[in-house]
A and B are shown apart, each in its own frame.
Chain A
Amino acid sequence: MSARLLASGSGDKFEAPGLHIFDWKPIFEGQAGLAWLTKPTLIVILAALAVILFAWRAFGNPKLVPRGVQNVGEVAYLLVRDQVARPMLGKDGDRWMPFLFSTFFFVLFMNYAGVIPVLQLPATSHIAIPIVLALAVYGMMLFLGIKHQGLVGYFKNVMFPPGLPKALYVILAPIEFLSTIILRPFTHAVRLFANMFAGHLLIAFFATVAWWFLAEKLTPLGAGVGVVGFVMTIVMTAFEIFVQSLQAFIFTLLAASYINSSLHADH
């Protein structure tokens, strides 16, 4: 939260926030062993701890009549099970619930860090974090596909879906290979990253407009722009909460869909 980040420009010219708002120095500067501990990694750790604590409090000592956190936990569990696991994975859905539940809430808490005061940075706006999550799902997808359909069978099912005219496979096979094996992990990671990145930049932009025109350079003409920036900051924050929830949901939905495509060949 240095002055460099709060000041919206040097001199008299308004400067929109750029990529530098995503650059964070190590929290304990100068200590070689802790160079990895920056704000984004701290948020990842906090999100992981929050998921563990939430699941522990909710399901660690379940009662027949739920009280307190267990109520919330059961609603959350039902949401993931009935909206993601069962429609996507069918009867295998319940077996995959631990993975899907923790993925959903891990991503959700990392996204929510973007609107929680003081933190105010979605950890998933750093491409490294969605990449790790998407690679885990991708590795699982390949492993399960080869395990359940065989090495040749899996790639045959991916590239040559049965029941089409022979000539069509010339076009279809490369497209299917590209979209399933190469683009899938890429879009899976980038979808989450791009939404969080753009959302954070938008909020930062309107907040900077409000700060610049209302606090730093208050003029009769500029005040109107500042008020618009202030109102838009609030509106965009509400919109971000919606987008953050939706993206966490879609990330889990796609993970379930990819796992299902490996468990059962498309017919």
Chain B
Amino acid sequence: MSAIAAVSGNLGSIAYGLAAIGPGIGVGIIFGQGVQAIARQPELTNVIRQNMLLGFALTEALALIGFVVPFVHQ
């Protein structure tokens, strides 16, 4: 069976691109909702920013795993 299409170069970069889709959407939602929440309740800015950063850090974890896997799996 012959290949119809092939990818050359470092597959790790493609893996990272795929791994970054979900966290990208997630981080967008977190900051979008965070800004909206601050606009609605400016007096709670500090609390919202705190939770926004915490949620951002947790969402980012998946992208980070995708970033490291190519180095581990060489």
Q: Which residues of A contact B (CB under 8 A)?
A: 83, 87-88, 183, 187, 190-191, 194, 198, 249-250, 253-254, 257
B57 touches A253 (CB 8 A): yes
A254–B58 Cα gap in the complex (Å)? 10
A194–B61 Cα gap in the complex (Å)? 10
A87 touches B46 (CB 8 A): yes
Q: Which residues of B contact A (CB under 8 A)?
A: 46-47, 50, 53-54, 56-58, 60-61, 64-65, 67-68
Contacts across chains A and B counted by CB atoms under 8 Å: 34
Contacts of A257 in B (CB 8 A): 54
The 8 closest A-B pairs by CB, nearest first: A187-B61, A190-B64, A194-B67, A194-B64, A250-B57, A87-B50, A191-B64, A190-B68
Contacts of A183 in B (CB 8 A): 61
A249–B56 Cα gap in the complex (Å)? 13
Assuming the A-B contacts A198-B67, A253-B54, are A191 and B46 also in contact, with contact meaning beta carbons closer than 8 angstroms in the complex?
Answer: no
A183–B68 Cα gap in the complex (Å)? 13
B50 touches A191 (CB 8 A): no
A194–B67 Cα gap in the complex (Å)? 7
A187-B61, A253-B53 given; 15 more Cβ-contact pairs under 8 Å: A83-B46, A83-B50, A87-B46, A87-B50, A183-B61, A187-B64, A187-B65, A190-B64, A190-B65, A194-B64, A198-B67, A249-B53, A253-B50, A253-B57, A254-B57
